[in-house]
Amino acid sequence: MNATGGERAGRRALAASAWDVWSLPAAFWLLGTALLTFHLGLWTDDYDLAGIDPVTGRIERLTWLADSPYWRPLHLIFTMALETLSFHRPWLGHAMVNLLHGVCAWLVFALARALGLGRRGAAAAAVLFLTYPLHAQAIHWIAAFGTLASTATALGACVLAVRLVRDALRPLTLVGFVVLSWATPCWNEQATGAFLALPLLAIVFGAQRRGAVRGVLIRAGVVSAAAWIGAALYLAMYVTHAPPEWRGSRAQAVGVSEVFEGVVRLAQGVAALHRWEVELAGAWAMSVRTASAFAILVVPTLALVVVGGAAWVRGYVAWSAGERAGARRASGVTVFALVAGVGCFAPILLASGWTLELRYLHAPSAFLAMAMVAPLAGVLEWASERVRGAGAVRAGRVVVAMLVMAAGLGGSLLQLGYAGAFRERWVRDQAEVSALVRAAPSPSPDAFFLPVFVATEGVGREGGRWSRFEASFMSVWAVNWGAPNIVQQAYRRRDVSAGWVWSPGAESPVLSAEASRVRVPTSFRTELQPADPSRKGAGYWAPMSRVVPFSIESDGSVRVWPAFAVTYADGSRVVSPCPASGAGSRLEGRAYAVPSGDWWRSATLRAAQWSDGSPATLSRRFEDGVPLDSLWLHSAYAALPDRDEATFELPPGTRRVAIRAKLADAHRSTDGVVLDVFAEGDAAGAAWILRGREVRPDDAHGGGWRVEVVDVPSGSARVRVRIGAGAAGDVTFDGVWVHTLALSAGDDAGEAGPASGDGR
């Protein structure tokens, strides 16, 4: 009976200890990660990755492994199966993603404990990782399941690596380590960068086993070699089999200079994401909006946070003081975790043309959370040994527990804001495609829906102050692999398809047009004729008889256009009907203006070069019925003086130039640039035609631009557009879009809107 009573007491103590450790993290997980599980839907890739028959809604296939077995095979098997099985029940996919994020947080705790941190430090690291607000894409997007799985396998492999190096090379543990470490790149390559830190385990444990340093070194070498061989085999498989156009393929090898340039760009990008006004201010505003809309869920969850917080503080104070990492161990853990976290960025730098996405922070943050906590834990343990009086020690622990709790609560609320933004984007997408079906209920066979303008990109607009946050939530029309699928699923027809429209400032959905056809940038899952097979980026021809041009206004309403007004270099227009919308369509009473190929050849400005001598390129647009050239004048990772100016050649007869400028992704509300335009000619001399026009973020919000129309001296052959730092002197934006339009006598730069293509 005594033994039974002791066992019961032990179980009660164990349960109480588990409650103290995990009650608060569980409440945070519910608030920030899982609260809207049953209210979230699909986003971008989700529409394409599911193997669903658009006509019947039945499953066609579960995996994509046969298509690209050399690229992330576990991702192609399991993520695609999850996408397919949860397509009609998105909550199922989101639940799996949410649970996997919780598993990753538990593995952070397990790894920190294995490395030697006490429960206080390990639990704090797990909470910081769990509630890190910039996990947004990873924890609220079904397609990111592979990213989380890669983080989990990397963490699990590191836990086993610690056991192997610390204790002995046990066969079963070694097999488990090899399986997990080799599986990591098969989910996602990024987390394999953590294995760069494995040799440092010899430092972490060698210092405490001075009599067995040689054995620790050997075991660390074996473990590191096993992980690196697996990563090398995967890399060799990918590089030798990936198509030339894929990032990281042999044809797109990255040079050393590009890697170093990428390091600077990556550091700047990560730093920018953590500025409140860039990203998190928008998440907070959306969190307030979401909490108001879902108060019935948020209020009880906050009550759980309070209850869990009380248990957390009590347990944090009472946990055994004998579990100390020690200063030397804490230093070793810090170095290991820091190298592992930073190493997770290395695979990104080896791929050409990368852009920083929020999901790229999931694996690094798992290790960097430990790197943040370990030195603090060591300092606190050191202080607790030297501070006299139990009351002071307890007070210090209470303060630390409250700080961790406050950080977790703030992070969870910001995560809730991201979840609300994903929900809002999904609701908008569904409403817009439903409005499209109502506007064109019976499209002709093989109809090709072409979004010529979408005004509802992004979410959370509050005066446009959070451009980076709102731009993260692209509409389904902004990705070329999403639009065709959502249209097929909406109409339950395989023969229909769709084009796409990028975010404002990028490539136009219409490159050029002729009387009977229109040229579009890409042909994804759509049979279209290549405009020029020998030239990359030449686009594809879509017959006017197949095209259904439509636009989405800022209120979400859909306008279907009955025709294109093809604009030629001499200003003439030919109206080409687009009858594919079919019977019963609600059509606009005018045509939508698009440029002809002749217009591009003879009437636009031609970029010559940057001020540093490198060639400059144009992205051609036809915005609001006005044909424009857009120039990306400055990038965040290039020094401003290197690309502060571009030269344009003017077509003969140019009398005026319309200059429209906009900041891209402004990171501070005070940022601005000064725009100068200088006209010159071989016979006419040179003259400034625009001096000191400042362009600020407030000029560009809501899709607007700072517009200047200036006279050009007769005989001018070129204009030079120059930008410089504004009054703030702090140029921390991603770039400046400058649109230029050469105007002949009688042209009107103010002609705007689809009405300019009116065929009447």
- The residue range of the domain holding 500 is 440-600
Reported confidence tier of residue 625, pLDDT bands at 50, 70, 90: very low
Q: Specify the pLDDT at position 609.
A: 44
Q: Specify the pLDDT at position 671.
A: 52
| Domain match, 468 and 613 both | no
- How many other CB atoms sit within 10 Å of the CB of residue 666? 28
Q: Specify the pLDDT at position 400.
A: 84
Reported confidence tier of residue 509, pLDDT bands at 50, 70, 90: confident
pLDDT tens for 640-673 read 444 566 666 677 777 777 776 666 554 444 456 6
For residues 683 and 151, the model is more confident at: 151
Model confidence at 268: pLDDT above 70: yes
Are the beta carbons of 633 and 265 closer than 8 angstroms? no
Query: Which of 422, 449, 482 is the C-terminal boundary of a domain?
Result: 422
Residue at 683 is within a domain: yes
Which CATH number fits the domain that encloses residue 715?
2.60.120
| Domain match, 232 and 381 both | yes
Strand ranges in 94-245 using DSSP code E only, listed in sequence order? none
Residue 625's region, left for phi above 0, alpha for psi from -120 to 50, else beta, is: left
For residues 464 and 131, the model is more confident at: 131
Q: Which residues pair with 741 in a beta bridge?
A: 658
- Among the listed ranges 181-190, 220-229, 253-262, which one has the minimum average pLDDT value? 253-262
Residues near 178 by beta carbon (within 8 Å), at least 6 away in sequence: 226, 230
| Domain match, 497 and 616 both | no
pLDDT tens for 674-726 read 777 777 776 545 666 666 666 655 444 334 456 677 788 877 877 777 766 55
- Measure the CA–CA gap between 83 and 45, rounded to whole angstroms: 10
Using DSSP's 3-state secondary structure scheme, residue 69 falls into coil
| Domain match, 185 and 252 both | yes
Helix (H) or strand (E) holding 114: helix 90-115
Model confidence at 753: pLDDT above 70: no
Model confidence at 163: pLDDT above 90: yes
Q: Specify the pLDDT at position 640.
A: 42
| Domain match, 81 and 116 both | yes
For residues 337 and 632, the model is more confident at: 337
Whole-number mean pLDDT of the chain?
80
**Cα Rg of the chain, angstroms:** 29
| Domain match, 501 and 558 both | yes
Q: Are strands 558-560 and 547-552 parallel, antiparallel or unpaired?
A: antiparallel
Reported confidence tier of residue 386, pLDDT bands at 50, 70, 90: low
Residue at 430 is within a domain: no
Residue at 281 is within a domain: yes
- Among the listed ranges 430-444, 454-468, 582-596, 642-656, which one has the minimum average pLDDT value? 454-468
Residue at 553 is within a domain: yes
- Measure the CA–CA gap between 106 and 192, rounded to whole angstroms: 19
Q: Specify the pLDDT at position 398.
A: 84
Q: Specify the pLDDT at position 635.
A: 41
Residue at 549 is within a domain: yes
Q: Specify the pLDDT at position 12.
A: 60
- Among the listed ranges 214-218, 341-345, 471-475, 560-564, which one has the minimum average pLDDT value? 471-475
- Among the listed ranges 287-296, 336-345, 400-409, 468-477, which one has the minimum average pLDDT value? 468-477
Residue at 74 is within a domain: yes
Reported confidence tier of residue 570, pLDDT bands at 50, 70, 90: low
Q: Specify the pLDDT at position 179.
A: 96
Q: Specify the pLDDT at position 534.
A: 77
| Domain match, 550 and 639 both | no
Mean pLDDT score, 614-628: 47
Reported confidence tier of residue 504, pLDDT bands at 50, 70, 90: very low
| Domain match, 160 and 281 both | yes
Model confidence at 103: pLDDT above 60: yes
Residue at 539 is within a domain: yes
Model confidence at 348: pLDDT above 80: yes
Percent of the chain predicted with pLDDT > 90: 42
Token pair listed for 572: 């003439």
- How many other CB atoms sit within 10 Å of the CB of residue 218? 14
Structure letter (DSSP) for residue 167: T
Reported confidence tier of residue 427, pLDDT bands at 50, 70, 90: very high
Query: Which of 388, 422, 456 is the C-terminal boundary of a domain?
Result: 422
Q: Specify the pLDDT at position 331.
A: 84
| pTM for the whole structure | 0.82
| Domain match, 445 and 575 both | yes
Q: Specify the pLDDT at position 520.
A: 87
- Among the listed ranges 349-358, 522-531, 594-603, 673-682, which one has the minimum average pLDDT value? 594-603
| Domain match, 558 and 639 both | no
Q: Specify the pLDDT at position 547.
A: 96
Mean pLDDT score, 544-553: 94
Q: Which residues pair with 628 in a beta bridge?
A: 621
Residue 754's region, left for phi above 0, alpha for psi from -120 to 50, else beta, is: alpha
Residue at 431 is within a domain: no
- Measure the CA–CA gap between 627 and 620, rounded to whole angstroms: 8
What are the φ and ψ backbone dihedral angles of 331, each rounded to 5 degrees?
-65, -45
The segment with the largest mean pLDDT, out of 215-219, 346-350, 404-408, 733-737, is: 404-408
The number of C-alpha atoms within 13 Å of 111 and in the hemisphere containing its C-beta is: 36
| Domain match, 632 and 582 both | no
Q: Specify the pLDDT at position 436.
A: 97
| Domain match, 496 and 575 both | yes
Using DSSP's 3-state secondary structure scheme, residue 497 falls into strand
Query: Which of 422, 449, 477 is the C-terminal boundary of a domain?
Result: 422
**Nearest Cα residue to 146 out of 111, 107, 181, 185:** 185
- Measure the CA–CA gap between 107 and 267, rounded to whole angstroms: 27
Q: Which residue has the tokens 């025709």?
A: 563
Number of compact structural domains in the chain: 3
